[in-house]
Amino acid sequence: MTIRANVSLSRGAFTLQAQFEAPGQGVTAVFGRSGSGKSTLLRALAGLETPQPGGAISVNGVTWLGQGINVPVHQRRVGYVFQEPGLFPHLCVRGNLEYALKRSVGRGAQRGGRDGVQGDVQGDVQRGVPAFDEVTALLGLENFLWRNPVTLSGGEKQRVAIARALLSSPALLLMDEPLAALDLHSKEEILPFLDRLFASAGIPVLYVSHAPDEVARLADHLLLMEEGTVLAQGPLADVLGRVDSPLARTDEAFSVIHCDIVELDGPCHLSVLSTAAGDRVYVPRITAGQRQDIRLRINARDVSLCNQRPVGSSILNILQATITQLSASDNKGQQLIQLRLAGSDELLLARISEYSCQQMGLINGMDIYCQIKAIALLC
């Protein structure tokens, strides 16, 4: 149950040379700056770009590209959501969805039968016969099935495009910055649909993004890309926690930790959460109806360290941790410290100055208190 790829291609001055292995389920975020080759990688996976000979692509045991094999785009069981929704303007919403549905039956059954793919059957979508009503309900499209795509808002169009990709019965869903062209309001509108989709569909997803928030919220697995190559890959927390990754070198370095809800209506418009170790975390009040598993994104620059538990501080969130790794100092005299939260496997990054690090005598294995200035709630 893995997605394996090894593709190289050049387009003018740009060269893609990507090799990776991602789990055959869950959401793998492909993260990197603009121009790092994320979209080109996705296009190569879908067969929209022809890589140089010698490459290989296989998705859960089905070979799409290999020795003497290059399955054409329309025969790859791929669902592709582009940055622009690309709805067919001559068809209504239902027509767009049925376009995918009509062609999915042959594709799904044919390839599944010939290759003997036995997927873990999770819902109708995985079985190759996606249920029209289920998908439209999942993306909340019931009320505008007969509308002309031209009359839909940006967020609605993208939801139709996602539903259409799902109805084509994909074995792999590729999403190329599906939210990048949307305004903030539309993004907020569409994110809950993505949460539901990823929780229920059971199809592996490759999700290209350059927005840390989306990655932190949606992904389970992470591929970091830079200049056409895959620099790091692995479970989200592991890759984010690395002090030597290209992401860690930027000011955007962040970690994601998981919390449970203790009390929704806490004091002074706060909600109280707790980490796996039982440390309390205070966040701005969460409204009811949001999911139980809460992800928090914490920027490395918002974490400061103390030798002893701070007393009389205005900072509410203080977590106990052990130092597990220290990076070398960068050219601005800053160091990145990797910490493991006490009593759990969760990793936290802190960016502090080389000078404080020396003054405090920080070394591996040292127990320490982390003061967290700001937390982003991802739910």
Partner 1 sequence: MVSLMPLQRSNHRWLMLFENDIAALWITLRLALITALALLMVGTPLAWWLANSRWRYKAVIEAAVALPLVLPPTVIGFYLLVAMGPDGPIGQFTNWLGVRPLAFSFTGLVLGSVVYSLPFVVQPLQSTFSGIGRAPLEVAATLGARPLDRFLTIVVPLSRSGYLTAAVLGFAHTLGEFGVVLMIGGNIPGQTQVLSIAIYDHVESLEYASAHWLAGSLLVFSFFLLLIVYGLNRRFDMVKV
For partner 1, the binding residue among 85, 128, 204, 212 (CB under 8 A) is 85
3-state secondary structure of 73: helix
Taking CB under 8 A as the criterion, the residue among 53, 106, 278, 284 binding partner 1 is 106
Instruction: Name the pairing type of β-strands 221-226 and 27-31.
Output: parallel
Check residue 79 for interaction with partner 1 (CB under 8 A). Answer: yes
Among the listed residues 257, 236, 234, the one whose alpha carbon sits nearest the alpha carbon of residue 341: 257
- Indicate whether 99 belongs to the interface with partner 1 (CB under 8 A): yes
Figure out which of the listed residues 75, 143, 356, 358 binds partner 1, where binding follows CB under 8 A: 75
Under rule CB under 8 A, residue 371 binds partner 1: no
Among the candidate windows 28-36, 79-87, 180-188, 287-295, which touches partner 1 by CB under 8 A? Answer: 79-87
From 35, 48, 202, 324, residue interacting with partner 1 (rule: CB under 8 A): 48
How far apart CA 128 and CA 151 sit, in angstroms, is 31
Query: Using CB under 8 A, which residues numbered 17 to 46 contact partner 1?
Result: 46
Of 132 and 369, which CB lies nearer to partner 1 in the complex structure? 132
Which ranges of 122-183 does DSSP label H, i.e. alpha helix? 123-126, 132-138, 154-167
Residue 217 touches partner 1, criterion: CB under 8 A:
no
82 scored as a contact of partner 1 (CB under 8 A): yes
d(CA 365, CA 188): 41
Q: Is 208 in the site for partner 1 (CB under 8 A)?
A: no
Interaction between residue 74 and partner 1 (CB under 8 A): yes
Under the binding rule (CB under 8 A), the answer on residue 201 touching partner 1 is no
The answer to whether 275 and 259 have CB atoms below 8 angstroms apart is yes
What is the CA 63 to chain-centroid distance, rounded? 24
Number of residues in contact with partner 1 under rule CB under 8 A: 31
- Binding status of residue 86 toward partner 1 by CB under 8 A: yes
Instruction: Tell me the one-letter amino acid at 114.
Output: R
Which runs of consecutive H residues, i.e. helices, occur in the chain?
38-46, 93-115, 123-126, 132-138, 154-167, 184-200, 212-218, 236-241, 246-249, 354-360
Of the candidates 10, 14, 52, 89, which one interacts with partner 1 according to CB under 8 A?
89
Of 141-170, binders to partner 1 (CB under 8 A) are 149-150, 157, 164-165, 168
What six digits make up the tokens of 192? 């809950």
Is the Cβ–Cβ distance between 104 and 112 less than 8 Å? no
204 touching partner 1, by CB under 8 A: no
Nearer Cβ to partner 1 (100/223): 100
Count CB atoms within 10 A of the CB of residue 50.
Answer: 13
107 binds partner 1 (CB under 8 A): yes
Contact (CB, 8 A) for 32 and 245: no
The answer to whether 305 and 352 have CB atoms below 8 angstroms apart is yes
Least distance to partner 1, CB of residue 69, Å = 18
Q: How far is CA 141 from CA 94, 153, 211, in A?
A: 9, 12, 26
Told to check if 73 binds partner 1 by CB under 8 A, we report yes
Q: Rounded to the nearest whole angstrom, what is the least distance from the CB of residue 99 to partner 1 in the complex? A: 6
Q: Which DSSP symbol is given to 267?
A: G
Residue 108 structure tokens: 């799904």
In the complex, the residues that contact partner 1 under the rule CB under 8 A are 46-48, 72-76, 78-80, 82, 84-90, 99-100, 103-104, 106-107, 149-150, 157, 164-165, 168
